Amino acid sequence: MSENDTFKIHFLPNDKIVEIEKGNTVLDAAHKSNIYINSICGGDGICGKCRVILSSGKIDAPATKLLSSEEAEKDYILACEARVTSDLQILIPKETRLEGKKILFDQNEQHSLTWNAILNKAQFKHDSLVKKVFLKLEPPTMDDNVADHERLCQAIMMKEGVDLNIMQTGYRILKQLPEVLRQNDWAVTVTLGHRGRTLEVVEVQPGDTSQRNYGIAVDVGTTTVVASLLELESSKVIDSEAIYNTQMKFGEDYIQRIIYVIQNEALDEMQRTIVSDINNLISTLVKRNDINLDDVTSIVCAGNTTMIHFMLGLDPENIRREPYLPAANFIPPIRAAQVGIDINRRGLLYALPSVAAYVGADITSGATAIRLDKEEMPSLFIDIGTNGEVVLGNKEWMVCCSASAGPAFEGSGVRHGMRAAKGAIEIINISKDYDVNYSTIGNIPPRGICGSGLLDCIAEMLRSGIIDRSGKFQKGIETDRLRKKEDEFEFVLVEKEETGIDSEIVITQADISNLVRSKGAIYAAVSILIESMSLSINDIHCVYLAGGFGNYLNVRNAITIGMLPDMPTSRIKFVGNTSLTGAKMALLSEEAFETVQKIASQMTYFDLMGNPKYMEEFMSANFLPHTNLEEFPSVQKELSSQNT
């Protein structure tokens, strides 16, 4: 009954009402009211993730195969395709929402434990990028009438053993200095921040506040933003928090978001969105731990090249256009306030360096976290996130590439895929008679399958003969779990009664194809890098696998499906979110920060898209474990023993 063709959309369970003009989609309305609706394809009507329930009202939508007839009966619609033609009430079902899913951000996280041991093991000296130093200055006399500023600098020099020449004092500090120095009888705490080759006096406070010095480490992911709060003096990780990147409303992957920015001249909006997410994380962390925002003096951010560009408001346009150039890989430290990040108003923001448009600071940070630069023998670092990046190297050299693996192991493009959050199936075991055992994160009824579960699933289906080496279902097997539905075969992992959502949890033929392509892309990238250095798989000493798979990653299964090269599992290490780990190390250790810079400047980037061999390798890897079984002798043995 609205006039002017404007309609009210009432979203439940959020209970938010938004007005929108006729002809817009339900997804548009959700964006407008800042409600997150799963939408991997960014509104192209392809992924089918944005299913919502139309409780009342009328919409206009094309026919779709992405909804089952059962779903259609229950008034499920695709938010991205449903055009508004009346006032509506829309119910967003659990699986389409993100709220309430606690994201797991670091399976090795041990809060309130000091990181000294971790730094020690990584051979980094604890020396925060920004530190507080308590100084008792000698009060001036007629015989010692050194000016205020120089008196302070000399005291810093004596205590910290730094060269006076590298010290810089901001203008604002100079203006307050005479008063601050005299406020507590020449006892002051200086905040010192590394800025390139100089050491900046970031703040001077009366009295001793040296114990109140906190820093934030952030992994700015395309999908998830994770932040940790650290006590810098004691090198304790106090707390961590994660949220979904609100930029998802502009597109599920970063290329879509770059296009959005270009088409809508929306760089400012994109920057504000991620900065607001980061500020929300910081605000949550400081409030929960009763910390003053002014005592947060530094923030270190890792993330892929595009995310860092968005955060800083740097023009991302050339990232997606040949020859794929970032505005900058190396970002000088700046004041966090300059980009709108809320910490101490003079606090410093350190964005870690990228290598190229498609190998970002998450990778340089990760390579630092695992100290790839200390390896004697060539080792691999593989980070599987929204993309897959591979680094091969040792203490003398490093080569890297981006595998365009896609986010299948993050749950995208997989019917019941999800991130490693509560309710995600993270371990799957399938018996010879096709019985499925699983365990979920948080031991609650399953809501979907996370990366480690998907990996187990493929490996176990291969072992038990549910699928063959090409990833196709073996239609002859005797089980009701394998069934055909709407022209596609699917395997039921969990029956509806057992799940925490309103349906079974299945894995479809399309899901398997996606996962196989994804693992194939990674293996092909690994092969190309190894070949490029004239090495063979036998020369690889160690594989570090990073990503948000979950708590328990079965590395044997990663070999079985041919994602990782065939080698003793003892030499494969699952290392979790190394992007965040590296950011924490940099926050706590200037040496670590310098190491990230060094690694970034020394890595050689290979562009796979321009490499004709890559497509060849990819095709060969598009098999379980590989077209050439000889590359996987242990899997060959395993599979043949299984078949006997």
SS (H, E, C) 91-143: ECCHHHCCCCCCECCCCCCCCCCECHHHHHHCCCCCECCEEEEEEECCCCECC
> According to the binding rule CB under 8 A, does residue 161 interact with a copy of itself?
no
Residue 107 CA to residue 100 CA, distance in Å, equals 19
Quote the tokens at residue 53: 């329930």
> According to the binding rule CB under 8 A, does residue 612 interact with a copy of itself?
no
**Beta carbons within 8 Å of 120's beta carbon, 6+ residues apart:** none
For residue 326, which amino acid is it?
Answer: P
> According to the binding rule CB under 8 A, does residue 328 interact with a copy of itself?
yes
Residue appearing with tokens 């707390």: 239
Min dist CB 448 to a copy of itself, Å, is: 38
Size of the site for a copy of itself (CB under 8 A): 52
Min dist CB 334 to a copy of itself, Å, is: 5
Min dist CB 323 to a copy of itself, Å, is: 4
> According to the binding rule CB under 8 A, does residue 238 interact with a copy of itself?
no
> According to the binding rule CB under 8 A, does residue 346 interact with a copy of itself?
no
User: Which of 1, 4, 15, 197 forms a contact with a copy of itself (CB under 8 A)?
Assistant: 197
Q: Which is nearer to a copy of itself, 5 or 150 (CB)?
A: 150
Min dist CB 142 to a copy of itself, Å, is: 5
Min dist CB 325 to a copy of itself, Å, is: 6
Q: Which is nearer to a copy of itself, 62 or 323 (CB)?
A: 323
Residue appearing with tokens 């990653």: 553
Q: Which is nearer to a copy of itself, 323 or 476 (CB)?
A: 323
> According to the binding rule CB under 8 A, does residue 134 interact with a copy of itself?
no
Buried b (16+ CB within 10 A) or exposed e, 357-376: bbbbbbbbbbbbbbbbbebe
User: Which of 324, 340, 492, 634 forms a contact with a copy of itself (CB under 8 A)?
Assistant: 324
Residue 452 CA to residue 595 CA, distance in Å, equals 31
Buried b (16+ CB within 10 A) or exposed e, 243-282: bbbbbbbbbbbbbbbbbbbeeeeebeebbbbbbebbbbbb
User: Which of 13, 23, 196, 633 forms a contact with a copy of itself (CB under 8 A)?
Assistant: 196
Q: Which part of the chain contacts a copy of itself (CB under 8 A), choosing from 88-96, 352-360, 521-529, 636-644?
A: 352-360
Q: Which part of the chain contacts a copy of itself (CB under 8 A), choosing from 87-95, 146-154, 536-544, 574-582?
A: 146-154
Per-residue contact flags (x/-) with a copy of itself for residues 168 to 187, judged by CB under 8 A: xxxx--xx-xxx--------
Q: Which is nearer to a copy of itself, 30 or 220 (CB)?
A: 220
Q: Which part of the chain contacts a copy of itself (CB under 8 A), choosing from 82-90, 380-388, 410-418, 605-613?
A: 605-613
Q: Which is nearer to a copy of itself, 474 or 601 (CB)?
A: 601
Residue 241 CA to residue 407 CA, distance in Å, equals 22
Q: Which part of the chain contacts a copy of itself (CB under 8 A), choosing from 24-32, 314-322, 529-537, 572-580?
A: 314-322
CA-closest candidate to residue 148, choices 166, 125, 173, 121: 173
Are 370 and 578 a contacting pair, CB within 8 Å?
Answer: yes
Angle, in degrees to the nearest 10, between helices 361-369 and 578-588: 70
Q: Which is nearer to a copy of itself, 356 or 555 (CB)?
A: 356
> According to the binding rule CB under 8 A, does residue 195 interact with a copy of itself?
yes
CA-closest candidate to residue 547, choices 245, 221, 307: 221
Q: Which part of the chain contacts a copy of itself (CB under 8 A), choosing from 313-321, 480-488, 512-520, 630-638?
A: 313-321
Min dist CB 388 to a copy of itself, Å, is: 20
Per-residue contact flags (x/-) with a copy of itself for residues 585 to 604, judged by CB under 8 A: --------------------
> According to the binding rule CB under 8 A, does residue 331 interact with a copy of itself?
yes
User: Which of 52, 77, 339, 526 forms a contact with a copy of itself (CB under 8 A)?
Assistant: 339
User: Which of 322, 433, 478, 497 forms a contact with a copy of itself (CB under 8 A)?
Assistant: 322
Residue 54 CA to residue 243 CA, distance in Å, equals 27
Please provide the DSSP assignment of 266-325 as one string: -HHHHHHHHHHHHHHHHHHHHHHTT--GGGEEEEEEEE-HHHHHHHHT---GGGGSTTT-
> According to the binding rule CB under 8 A, does residue 357 interact with a copy of itself?
yes
For residue 356, which amino acid is it?
Answer: A
User: Which of 208, 233, 504, 607 forms a contact with a copy of itself (CB under 8 A)?
Assistant: 607
Q: Which is nearer to a copy of itself, 109 or 160 (CB)?
A: 160
- For 152, half-sphere exposure in the C-beta direction (CA atoms, 13 angstrom radius) is 30
Residue 35 CA to residue 55 CA, distance in Å, equals 17
Q: Which helix (H) or strand (E) holds 637?
A: helix 633-643
Q: Which helix (H) or strand (E) holds 174?
A: helix 171-183
Binding site for a copy of itself (CB under 8 A): 140-142, 144-150, 165-171, 174-175, 177-179, 195-198, 312-315, 317-318, 322-332, 334, 338-339, 354, 356-357, 605, 607, 610
